[in-house]
Amino acid sequence: MTNITSAYPRGMSNQTIRDRPNVVERVEYLFGRDLPPAMHGWVLHDAAGPGHNRRYFERGVAMFLPLIVIIWVLPIEWQIKVGMSAIVLLPAVYFLTALRHVYLQHLLQDNEFDPDVETGKWLAEHERRAAVYEAKFRSGPRRYA
């Protein structure tokens, strides 16, 4: 008898090639693991598709939920709990907002995509505005009287 798994290249299994990660792969992806090339379409949709900002902020705030839960379990007044939660969440949201573009570029580059995919709309708008500016203010040589 021959071993069926020996017919597959090393590292491959007899499972069908999937284009979406399972739960374990998703958790690993959230912790920074790269997904196989067959799932790159899913990664692109997750990182730059519709709703990517919402997903990014949900993941970022979810990292701080255990700390918030611990704060709300402490036997202190609710005003102090609200204040402590704000002290945790406001800087978190601020830095999530500030570093969103850097995180997106890193994620896309790790998964072999052009890191400027998300900025395509911005670049098109910038080029359009630059053309309007050039036409309006740089239309010809300046004449001084």
> Where are the domains positioned within the chain?
17-115
Contacts 24+ apart (CB under 8 A), 17-26: none
Whether the pLDDT of residue 74 is over 90: the answer is: yes
Q: Which whole number is the average pLDDT over 49-55?
A: 85
Considering only CA atoms, give the Rg of the chain.
24
Higher pLDDT, 115 or 119: 115
> Per-residue DSSP letters for 23-81?
HHHHHHHHTTPPPPGGGHHHHHHHHHSTTHHHHHHHHHHHTTHHHHHHHHHSSS-HHHH
d(C-alpha 91, C-alpha 89), whole Å: 6
Q: In the chain, pLDDT over 70 holds for what percent of residues?
A: 79
Write down the pLDDT at residue 106: 84
User: Both ends of the chain: CA-CA distance in Å?
Assistant: 97
pLDDT for the residue numbered 139: 66
Report the pLDDT value the prediction gives residue 109, as an integer from 0 to 100. Answer: 82
Q: What is the distance between the alpha carbons of residues 117 and 138, in angstroms, rounded to a whole number? A: 30
Q: Which amino acid is at 27?
A: V
* The pLDDT of residue 9 is above 80: no
The reported pTM is 0.63
Q: Is the pLDDT of residue 72 over 80?
A: yes
